[in-house]
Amino acid sequence: MTAEPRPLTETAYAKINLALHVRERLPGGYHRIETLFAFCEDGDVLVAEPADDLGLKIDGPFAEGLSTGDDNLVMRAAAMVRRHASEGRGAAIRLTKNLPIASGIGGGSADAAAAIRLLSRLWQVDLDAAAVHDIAAELGADVPACLGSETAVGRGKGDKLEAIELPSVKSAPVLLVNPGVAVPTGPVFQGWDGEDRGALAVEKGTEGWRNDLKPPAIAIAPEIGMLLALLDAQPGAFFVRMSGSGATCFALFESVETRTEAMVRVKSAQPGWWVWESALR
């Protein structure tokens, strides 16, 4: 007797930008950036099992209002992987949305990357590196980085990747906080003042890692400034930044204990904010 195929699970690891240096505006609405990607151990969760066709259900604390149709990045990724699979392949996909949307931590991009990994396994599709990268790049600038979900320098639009080891932050306890405001990426980039403040110098360490999108993001959502000040004030926090284009900010801590103590204080100070504990991969 042949066993029924078991559902497969994949984590869509939350992304943070340890640095995001904007160097110039490019044609077509993009910008040339230099960024330092890192990933948390946790994130959204995707589960898939074989089905007659492609379908998506979404649950979790941030599921409300999300499309389950063909415009969803998970469904787009699934359709692109299916082109490389045997005929007749389908999947019933469930996305548990744990991360807030439009929050600078790569939720949609990480979901799409996780869908590529998950469905390649489910359908036993053997994609070469070039094909996988092409699929990811078509879905979004952050999706190639989210595919590997490993620490990397991203250049160009963020999709030209160079893997890197950062012992100083590896496995660091991290606290992510979002003040409950969605900050669309486009307007934040449009608010960049156009000044090139210099290249990313990874070797200089955390003091030289900046986020050039912080001022325009704070102009749109002043709560980000309040949040950064609150995280900076936490004992044991050795590195605090806004991630991506906001509004999520994060702090890296010296220990799990100091992170947990900070989480309690932040929740007490701002009970309406999203607060999430993890560690860097």
The CATH number of residue 228's host domain is 3.30.70.890
Whether residues 187 and 270 share a domain: the answer is yes
Whether residues 147 and 46 share a domain: the answer is yes
Looking at the domain assignment, is residue 3 inside a domain?
Answer: no
Q: What is the DSSP string of 164-199?
A: ---TTTTT-EEEEEE-S----HHHHHHT--------
Whether residues 106 and 143 share a domain: the answer is yes
- Does pTM surpass 0.85? yes
Under a CB-based contact definition with an 8 Å cutoff, are residues 16 and 47 in contact? Answer: no
Whether residues 97 and 190 share a domain: the answer is no
Strands 31-50 and 91-96: antiparallel
Whether residues 178 and 115 share a domain: the answer is no
Return mean pLDDT, the chain. Answer: 95
Q: Above 60 in pLDDT, residue 3?
A: no
Residues paired with residue 94 on neighbouring β-strands, in sequence order: 47, 57
Q: Above 80 in pLDDT, residue 133?
A: yes
Whether residues 48 and 134 share a domain: the answer is yes
Element (H, E) at 278: strand 274-279
Under a CB-based contact definition with an 8 Å cutoff, are residues 91 and 48 in contact? Answer: yes
Number of domains in the chain: 2
Q: Above 60 in pLDDT, residue 1?
A: no
Domain end, chosen from 130, 163, 196, is at: 163
Whether residues 144 and 180 share a domain: the answer is no
Whether residues 150 and 189 share a domain: the answer is no
Looking at the domain assignment, is residue 168 inside a domain?
Answer: no
Which residues, in sequence order, are CB contacts of 83 under 8 Å at separation 6+? none
- Cα-based distances in Å from 19 to 7, 72, 108, 155, 240: 37, 28, 20, 12, 11
Distance of CA 109 to the CA centre of its chain: 6
pLDDT for 5 equals: 65
Domain end, chosen from 163, 184, 211, is at: 163
Whether residues 28 and 119 share a domain: the answer is yes
- Give the other-Cβ count within 10 Å of 4's Cβ: 8
What residues are annotated to the active site? Answer: 15, 142
pLDDT for 93 equals: 98
What does the pLDDT look like over 205-244, one tens digit per residue? 888 899 999 999 999 999 999 999 999 999 999 999 999 9
Boundaries of domain holding 243: 173-279
Helix%, strand%, coil% for the chain, nearest 5: 30, 30, 40
Whether residues 72 and 116 share a domain: the answer is yes
> Cα(209)–Cα(15) distance, rounded to whole angstroms?
16
Q: Above 80 in pLDDT, residue 4?
A: no
